[in-house]
């Protein structure tokens, strides 16, 4: 969680995640108990909430996994 991030001086940075290819496209903070929500395409506009995100949770600085089914192809939360 957010408590894993060190407090750093101004102008310094911390690595959140490693990437094999590409890089960070979007980021969002959320409460694990409430799940993660994102906008889905279509008319009318829909929102999907993934309640169990434990599969995608990893240690800070580790490589990530592929996004869940239904996640936007542009990798943005919308």
**Domain assignments of the chain as residue spans, ordered by start:** 1-20+27-78
User: Would you say the pTM of this structure is higher than 0.85?
Assistant: no
pLDDT at 36: 86
Residue-wise pLDDT for 14-30, tens only, equals: 777 777 777 777 888 88
In the block, which residue shows the tokens 């990530």? Answer: 64
Cα atoms in the 13 Å half-sphere on the side-chain side of 43: 0
Question: C-alpha angle with apex 67: 34 to 6, nearest 5 degrees?
Answer: 65
In a 10 Å sphere around its CB, with 0-12 CB exposed, 13-18 middle and 19+ buried, how is residue 28 labelled? exposed
């Amino acid at each position: 969680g957010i408590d894993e991030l060190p407090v750093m001086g101004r102008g310094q940075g911390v690595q959140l995640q490693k990437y094999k290819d590409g890089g960070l496209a979007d980021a969002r903070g959320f409460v694990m108990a409430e799940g993660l929500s994102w906008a889905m395409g279509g008319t009318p506009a829909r929102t999907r909430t993934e309640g169990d995100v434990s599969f995608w949770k990893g240690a800070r600085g580790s490589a990530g996994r592929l996004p869940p089914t239904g996640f936007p192809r542009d990798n943005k939360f919308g």
